[in-house]
Amino acid sequence: MIILMFCILQNTVTAQVITTVIIKGRVLNRQTQLPLENALISLSSVQNPDKKQSSKTNKSGAFEMQTEAGEWNISIDFSTFKPVTLNNQSVTEDLDLGDLFLNENYQLLETVTVSGEKSGLS
């Protein structure tokens, strides 16, 4: 009986082991090839969308995040650039995404005319 309980307890403890992995990469401006400091990297679990994690890039545009192994949606976002999303990334071991390039988000603006009148007061 004691041996049976020990075997059940050992299997329960073994099943609860969580594998941690490191996801890393570097974010660059596609046009200038320069690193983007403070770009936001967001992870969202495919199995549990409420499980989220985020980090920012350093001066070199590099990031490194430790997380649980699993399926992740990975988003890279930086102001005035088009975001990049890598959906359903199966991460079972450390993952180096390499260089990730963001394109500037140019939007055409309508012409603005500024006019003024000279004041009669001196």
The predicted-structure confidence for 25-69, as pLDDT tens digits, reads as follows 999 999 999 999 999 999 999 999 899 999 999 999 999 999 999
Q: Tell whether the torsion through CA atoms of 54, 81, 73 and 51 is positive or negative.
A: positive
3-state secondary structure of 41: strand
CA gap 53, 20 in Å, rounded: 14
The 10s digit of each residue's pLDDT in 67-93 is 999 999 999 999 999 999 999 999 999
Q: Is the pTM of this model over 0.85?
A: no
- Which helix (DSSP H) or strand (DSSP E) does residue 3 occupy? helix 2-15
- The closest alpha carbon to 58, from 82, 87, 24, belongs to 24
